[in-house]
Amino acid sequence: MSSVHPASQEIVLRLSGITKHFGPVTANDSISLDLRAGEVVALLGENGAGKTTLMNILFGHYVADAGTVEAFGTPLPPGDPGAALKAGIGMVHQHFTLAENMTVLENIALGTQSLWRTRFDRAAARDRILRLSRDFGLEVRPDAVVAGLTVGERQRVEILKALYREARILILDEPTAVLTPGESDALFATLKLLVREGLSIIFISHKLYEVMAVSDRVVVLRGGRVAGERRTAETSREELAALMVGEEPVLPPIVDVDFGGEALVLQGVTTSGKTSGARLERASLVLKRGEILGLAGVSGNGQAALAALLSGMEQAVAGTIQLFGETRQPWSAAQAVDLGIGRIPEDRHAVGTIGDMSITENAVLEAIRSPDFCRRGFVDWRAARDYAQEIIAEYDVKCPSPEARIRLLSGGNMQKLILGRALRPQPALILANQPTRGLDVGAVAYVHAQLIKARARGAAILLISEDLEEIMALSDRIAVISRGRISEPSKRGGKSIRELGEMMAGHGLEAA
């Protein structure tokens, strides 16, 4: 992405021999890397490879057990985020750190002036924010309250926070994990402008196509160590994938099969939108046993309403719903489990798990009332632990023990546990809502393989995803949702990515 060959530019950041242990786990093992002026270095690796830990050490959130950090030739004191900020380092976290009840302007300017100053010049701050916004294509309204912003707009605010503090090095931790394809493209355009103005960027990701699109150089981590380093122009997605996971993941083939009977039929369904925001509007679809029906759409077009409806969290105000041949009224969340609906939720942190509960507790959350785990009103924790251990073994969940808090797991391992919880009972209908969002290439391949296996045994799978490559790779039929309406589905390969993208934008969509 740089206009000048990075080898000819000065080193602005150097990490040497960084090592960090969390109890018996080695998160970083003697990692060294450098960053040059006007360069984009991608830090690539599986979930749990040590990428975020390394950057938290750089920014002063963690203290390394060994190793040093230098910015512009000056050593940074360990565990001091203030020193990192003063050195010109800005960090945009995967999970944003914004005060939702404050305005954009207040979030950006917070902490940038001395406490001894009695007056805050809001007009000057607004002018500066608008200038930065214009110069770098980061459209934002300074007086907007953060709670009302989209995910993409919130990320722009985080980047503006760093630029407002005159950052010269910008760390982006999984910046597209919660963005739509369009928002990701806008971010990449912004990064080009930032580099052109002389910023140096560390781009943390596990998405190979993004790394190939934005970086000058790639450093690959595996198991807390540097597995390799490549100039982007001299490598390939296949080579990087092999460095990440030891070998290139291979997805099992999807063979054409005769579908079974109708598992789910929606006819003219409209929802209230009280739980999920955007509503379904006279939506219709047919999902058959033994098929994967892919539903593509830009975030906010009714996918959340459909997922909430099937999960028992949303009510229909019009239309009819048939489940396995029986017409039903909307069901509760508990009834959804009893009806044989396996749920892989969109947000594994906020909805899929309870972070401060153990892996065992999370593994049996949806079945805690069943006779398998509840005896005479008391939970049989030995049976629960045994069940969690079976999921851990069967779904290759890397964790210290079943008693560990689930928030300590990487995103990929957390998703594997959710996958095991949803699929192990062999549900007849599976709601897979953004099942691979934020996962690395190895974890993505694993999730896909499990869905294909469930399809092979006859499960009906509704795959909701904003990743068109995922939709086109897995789905037997593909429909598009836009403004709450669902299109007539087409067979796999019946429409190109461009055609589907235009339908996602609302062009030429014919509701079923």
Among residues 245, 279, 297, the one where a domain terminates is: 245
Same domain membership, residue 180 and residue 281: no
User: 397: closest CA among 430, 366, 429, 421?
Assistant: 421
In the numeric block, the tokens 């985020």 are attached to 81
Q: Are residues 44 and 154 in the same domain?
A: yes
Share of residues in the chain with pLDDT > 90 (%): 41
Q: Are 71 and 89 in contact (CB under 8 A)?
A: yes
**Residue 346, in any domain of the structure:** no
* Terminal alpha carbon distance of the chain: 44
pLDDT tens figures, 448-478: 999 999 999 999 999 998 778 888 889 999 9
351 belongs to a structural domain: no
Q: Determine contact, residues 479/293, Cβ cutoff 8 Å.
A: yes
Structure tokens belonging to residue 478: 């593909």
Within-domain flag for 360 = no
Q: Are residues 282 and 191 in the same domain?
A: no
* pTM value surpassing 0.95: no
Q: How far apart are CA 491 and CA 499, in angstroms?
A: 13
- Asked if pLDDT for residue 512 goes beyond 50, the answer is no
Q: Is residue 371 part of a domain?
A: no
User: Do residues 312 and 218 share a domain?
Assistant: no
Higher pLDDT: 442 or 465? It is: 465
Q: Are 109 and 162 within one domain? A: yes
Q: How confident is the model at residue 179 (pLDDT cuts 50, 70, 90)?
A: low
The last residue of one of the domains, among 178, 213, 245, is 245
Task: Classify burial at 507, counting beta carbons within 10 Å of its beta carbon; exposed 0-12, middle 13-18, buried 19 or more.
Answer: exposed
Q: Quick check: is 475 in a domain? A: yes
Are the C-beta atoms of residues 8 and 221 closer than 8 Å to each other? Answer: no
Single residue among 215, 245, 275 that ends a domain in this structure: 245
Given this model, what pLDDT does residue 321 score? 95
Short-list 216, 292, 232, CA closest to 462: 292
d(CA 78, CA 214): 30
Domains held by the chain: number = 2
Quote the pLDDT of residue 148: 83
| Residue 502 confidence (pLDDT) above 50 | yes
Q: What is the mean pLDDT of residues 482-499?
A: 86
Residue 277 is predicted with a pLDDT of 62
**Nearest residue to 299 via CA among 463, 470, 150, 479:** 150
One-letter amino acid at 308 equals A
Give the CATH number for residue 438: 3.40.50.300
- Say if residue 295 is in the same domain as residue 224: no
Same domain for 75 and 174, yes or no, is yes
Please tell me which of 109-118, 187-196, 450-459, 498-507 the model is most confident about, judged by mean pLDDT: 450-459
In this predicted structure, the answer to whether residue 116 has a pLDDT above a threshold of 60 is no
Whether residue 56 sits in one domain with residue 25? yes
Comparing 250-254, 289-293, 324-328, 482-486, which segment has the lowest mean pLDDT? 250-254
Rounded to an integer, what distance in angstroms lies between the CA atom of residue 211 and that of residue 440?
A: 12
* Residue 475 in tokens: 């789905």
**pLDDT single digits (tens) 395-429:** 888 888 999 999 888 777 888 899 999 999 999 99
Summarised one tens digit per residue, pLDDT across range 93-115 is: 766 778 888 899 988 988 666 54
Predicted confidence at residue 511, as pLDDT, reads 42
pLDDT over 60 at 140, yes or no? yes
**Do residue 225 and residue 268 come from a single domain?**
no
In a domain, 82, yes or no: yes
What is the per-residue pLDDT for 509?
62
Contact 428, 259 (CB under 8 A): no
- The arithmetic mean of pLDDT across residues 112-120, rounded, is 59
Number of Cβ within a 10 Å radius of residue 329: 9
CA distance 483 to 53: 40
Q: What per-residue confidence (pLDDT) applies to 4?
A: 46
Residue 497 has pLDDT above 80, yes or no: no
Q: Label residue 425 exposed, middle or buried (CB < 10 Å: 0-12, 13-18, 19+).
A: middle
* CA angle (22, 24, 25) in 5-degree steps: 55
Mean pLDDT value across the chain = 86
Q: Do residues 123 and 198 both lie within one domain? A: yes
The Cα 311–Cα 151 span in angstroms is 23
Q: Tell me the residue range of the domain where 331 lies.
A: 262-340+427-504
Do residues 240 and 313 share a domain?
A: no
Which is nearest to 110 in space by CA: 85, 89, 77?
Answer: 85
Of the candidate ranges 1-15, 226-240, 479-493, the one whose mean pLDDT is the lowest: 1-15
pLDDT at residue 247 tops 70: no
Residues 336 and 197 in one domain: no
Name which of 75-84, 95-104, 256-265 the model is least confident about: 95-104
Q: Is residue 334 part of a domain?
A: yes
CB 2, CB 167: distance < 8 Å: no
Residue 313's alpha-carbon distances to 200, 285, 309, 335, 451, in angstroms, are 45, 19, 6, 11, 23
State the pLDDT at residue 252.
Answer: 64
Q: Which ranges of 221-300 does DSSP label H, i.e. alpha helix? A: 237-245
Look up tokens 């597995």; give the residue: 227
* Res 180: pLDDT: 61
C-alpha distances in angstroms, 310 versus 267, 294, 343, 348?
14, 15, 9, 17
> What pLDDT was estimated at residue 115?
44
In a domain, 456, yes or no: yes
What average pLDDT does this structure show over 63-70? 96
Given its phi and psi angles, is residue 254 left (phi above 0), alpha (psi -120 to 50 degrees) or beta? Answer: beta
Q: How confident is the model at residue 507 (pLDDT cuts 50, 70, 90)?
A: low
The lowest-confidence range among 121-130, 282-291, 386-395 is: 121-130
Q: Return the pLDDT at 318.
A: 93
